[in-house]
Structure formats: C-alpha cells, structure tokens
Chains A and B, each alone.
Chain A
C-alpha cells in the first residue's frame, strides 16, 4: 500500500515550457486535490476532484489545468510555465468529501521555473 505517489520529485523548467505532474493513490479514495506550498503562505488549493470525471477550481487555479483520469489518478498540467509557479506541489486524497475527512498527502514535487 503506497498511499499517494507523485512524479517527478524535482523538475526545472524554462519559462514557457509545459509539463504534467502525475499523482496516483491506491486507497480507493473518492476525492483528490492539488496544492502548492510557498514559504509563509501555507498550502493553497489549486484544484480538487470530488469524484472521477469531476474537477473544481480552488483558491489559485490560474495557469493550471487538471485531469481526473480515473479514480486513482489526478494530474496537474502547466501549459506555459512562469517563474511565479516555482513552488512545491502536493497531491492529496481523502475518502470523503472535501474538508470533511482526513487528507493523505504525497511526498511533493519541487518545481523551479527559470
């Protein structure tokens, strides 16, 4: 039981490049989330998915797109990376609805945009 896994762990991009962050969970959870963590700002929700096939915007969705491919996988795409997107990105999942249940976090992806 691996929990929540994320790939890659580290990534460096140039401004304007695109990339997809992958997330998978093996706990049969319904809800999945993408957060970014910046110093002094805690975690801010980018997008979440309450169930397969549904996604909703969080606090900071601009510049990102997501895809809930199936119940296990939830990917985050940066179409045209900007230096302001330099951050640590965390994927999380929970059995129940958003905020009504414990969230389980992945190890994070450290992204640097030059």
Chain B
C-alpha cells in the first residue's frame, strides 16, 4: 500500500527563518505530487504540484518544492517565513496507475511574530 509520511507534526519558527517541511512516499512508480495548505479557519488550497519536467517547482506565496526521485521525497521550502504562513501543510501523492491518492498526516507550522 502506498503511504505518505511527513517528518514533523508541529514546526515552530520565528519570522524570517527558513522553512523546510519533509514529505516522503513509499511508492516507486511514476507519481503526481502536491502540497496543499490549510490556513486557520479556511479550506485547503493548492500551494504547488509536480507532474513531470523540472523537479524544482515553484508555487504561490514564495513556496517551492523539490522532487528527488531517488529519495522518494518532495520537500517544501520557503527562504523566509512570515506570520501569515501559519497553517497546516499537507503533502499528497497520486500514482499514475490505479486509484490511490494519499494525503500525508499534515505538518502544523506556527510562525512567531
């Protein structure tokens, strides 16, 4: 069975600190990869996605993620976080064959002003 793991349950940073949230998946085939964000009191929205091509993808609000196939990873990064980045972040993986689309358990990010 495919699974998606996110390394940290809760990350606390000060404003201007750099962010890296880990995401690993267990399936070795071709995959589609997503990062979604849920701001407090709001619904999930897409940050970025990777289907093919350049493994470094850029999303909204200064976020980027790098797909490293050999490590089965799709880590999310931002050079300098803001208080408004406080949210829960979900990695999600879809294999190109079959119906499995799996969300990770989420990482809660708290940015201190």
Contact = CB atoms under 8 A, between A and B. Distances in A.
Contacts of A99: 32, 94-95, 99-101
B22 interface: no
Closest 4 CB pairs of A and B: A99-B94, A42-B103, A99-B101, A105-B44
Contact of B94 (A90, A98, A108): A98
B110 to A, nearest CB: 16
B104 A42 contact: yes
Contacts of B102: 42, 59
Interface in A18-43: 35, 40-43
A interface majority secondary structure: loop
B interface majority secondary structure: strand
A51 B90 CA distance: 26
A20 to B, nearest CB: 20
24 contacts: A4-B43, A40-B106, A42-B102, A42-B103, A42-B104, A43-B92, A43-B103, A44-B103, A56-B99, A90-B44, A98-B99, A99-B32, A99-B94, A99-B95, A99-B100, A99-B101, A102-B46, A102-B49, A103-B44, A103-B46, A105-B45, A106-B43, A107-B43, A108-B43
Interface of B: 4, 9, 32, 34, 36, 42-46, 49, 51, 90, 92, 94-95, 99-106
Interface in A62-114: 90, 92, 98-100, 102-108
A45 B101 contact: yes
A104 B36 CA distance: 10
Contacts of A35: 103
A44 B104 CA distance: 9
